Amino acid sequence: MSSSILHITNGDSTTNYLKKLKFSGDFITWREMLSEGKTTTDVGSESFWKNRFEFFKTSYKVSKKKFIDFTVKEYRNLCNKKESKEIILWFEHDLFCQINMLAVISWLKTYRKGYHISLVCSGKIKGSKKLKSLSELTENQIHLHYKNRIDLTQDDIEYADYIWQLYCSDSPLRLETVYKFNPMSPFQYLASAIEMHIMRFPSINNGLNKIENTILNTANSYKLSSKEQLIGKLLQNQEKYGFGDLQYEYKIAQLQKLFTSFNPVKLSKKGLQILENEINFYSELRSENSYLGGAKKYSFLFNNKSEKLLQITS
């Protein structure tokens, strides 16, 4: 007999934590990182997964077997669970989670029309300046979050789907103008996440985006003896991106030319000049195959003064 509740979580750590706390219901773990690489609107379609596998294979050397076992099989489990009376989404405040959340809601809009869908989203906690992940919550805090979960209306679902469509479009310009203007949205961390997304396009100042500049800044500001220490410091200091060590490892590899050493961590003369905005690294980083959502990363520039995007027309 199927459970009356289906939990869709943001990752294995949340799933394991909820099971440890004896939450009743079935569990699906959404194992994707749609904040990275090209995305298309048709979540779950054959072309969607084919496109995602290409990204993982090219960028992270993931084998087809691993991709199917880790991600696609869990998605198929989701497709088979149709009887639940309530679907509860468990996601967090950061960009990584918020983009995955949008995709899941878009899928639910298409394939689970009329179902009771609610959302548990962690972030702000009374008495803490730091935004918290779900697995950082105490047992009492997680039960309180669960009790206060938000029932998503059809309008909420339509809104999340609309933002997902914009995220997957070939231009982020519309997304940039839209995301701030829904004060009644129950997705209280979405505007901040989209703001972080916009700053992932290369800066007009030096051709590096916010994350890449943060990597150089961190390398230059601390005495770090290894690449592992650099990644550890980036993970410790990040709050709104929600990336793991794999993503930072990949991003550092793309900036390798700007380091003379990782043992200890030391920037090259060029790396220091780029950090000071004395030279621009855009042309050397530029790639036609680099996407943020549905948009080509290097077809847009972020103007740090106006905090607006500019489209590059050729």
pTM strictly above 0.75: yes
Query: What's the CA gap between 6 and 25, in Å, rounded?
Result: 6
pLDDT digits (tens, 9 = 90+) for 78-98: 999 998 989 999 999 999 999
Peptide bond into 264 cis (omega under 30): yes
Cβ count within 10 A of residue 1: 4
Domain boundary assignment for the chain: 5-198, 210-311
Q: Is a pLDDT exceeding 60 seen at residue 2?
A: no
Helix (H, G, I), strand (E, B) or coil at 129: coil
What is the fold, at CATH topology level, of the domain defined by 5-198?
Answer: Dna Topoisomerase Vi A Subunit; Chain: A, domain 2 (3.40.1360)
The DSSP line for 36-80 is SEE--SSTTSHHHHHHHHHHHHHHH---HHHHIIIIIHHHHHHHH
| Residue matched to tokens 């530029």 | 286
pLDDT digits (tens, 9 = 90+) for 190-230: 999 999 999 999 999 999 999 999 999 999 999 999 999 99
